[in-house]
Structure formats: structure tokens, C-alpha cells
Amino acid sequence: MGFDVGALGIAIASVLGVGLLLGAGIPLVYALGIRSLESERPGSTVVGGALLGLCVLLALAGIVVIVFGKQLFGI
């Protein structure tokens, strides 16, 4: 049984990269959305709603790419 350090390294780097992008990115976008909704500036409700919608889209896109990526995009 060979020990494929390269493949393991790539897998770990991918997990860390996607984790930081989605795992830390989506909560940040959501938090910005909540802050906008709380704010009393004009138009902040629309911005807040858009940011929360973006979170939902990002989460759905993440699921689609991760689960169906091979069939749909070959990744």
C-alpha cells in the first residue's frame, strides 16, 4: 500500500480552502445582512434582505457543486 502524500495534501488543501470560503464566508455575509436589517439607514432593509438571499444561494450552490459537481461540471 503506497502512501500518496501528494493526493492527501491536495484533498486537505481543498477541504481547507472550501471550508474557509463557505464555512467562514457564509456566516460573515449573513452577519452583514443581519446588521443591515437592524440598521435604520434608508435602503438598509433591501441590502440586508439581499445579503440573506445571497447566503441561501451560496449554501444551495455549495451543495449542488459538492454533491452533483462531477455529473454537472466534471469537478
Partner 1 sequence: MQELAILGIVVIVALAFDFTNGFHDTANAMAPSVATGALRPKPAVALSATLNLIGAFLSIEVARTVGSGIVDLAGVDGERLMLIVLCGLTGAIVWNVLTWLFGLPSSSSHALFGGLIGATIAALGVTGVLWGGVAQKILIPALLAPVIAGLVAFCGTWLVQRATANLSERGEQRGFRWGQIGAASLMSLAHGTNDAQKTMGVIFLALVAHGSLDPDAEMPIWVRVVCAVAIAAGTYMGGWRVIRTLGKGIVDISPRQGMSADFSSASIILTSSHLGLPLSTTHVASGSVIGSGLARTDAKVRWSVARRMLVAWLITLPAAGAIGALCFLIAGLFGHLWGSIVVTALLIGACLTMWLRSRLSHVGHHNVTDEWEQPKKERKRTIDRELSAVASGVAPLSRPRKRKKRSRRDQGGVA
Residues near partner 1 (CB under 8 A): 1-4, 8, 11-12, 14-16, 18-24, 26-28, 30-32, 34-35, 37-38, 55-56, 59, 62-63, 66-67, 69
For the CB of residue 42, give the shortest distance to partner 1 in the complex, in Å.
Answer: 19
- Minimum CB–partner distance for residue 41 and partner 1 (Å): 13
The rounded distance, in Å, linking the Cα atoms of 18 and 58 is 12
Instruction: Give DSSP secondary structure letters for 4-70.
Output: -HHHHHHHHHHHHHHIIIIIIHHHHHHHHHHHHHH--STTHHHHHHHHHHHHHHHHHHHHHHHHHHH
C-beta closer to partner 1: residue 2 or 43:
2
Of 12 and 50, CB closest to partner 1: 12
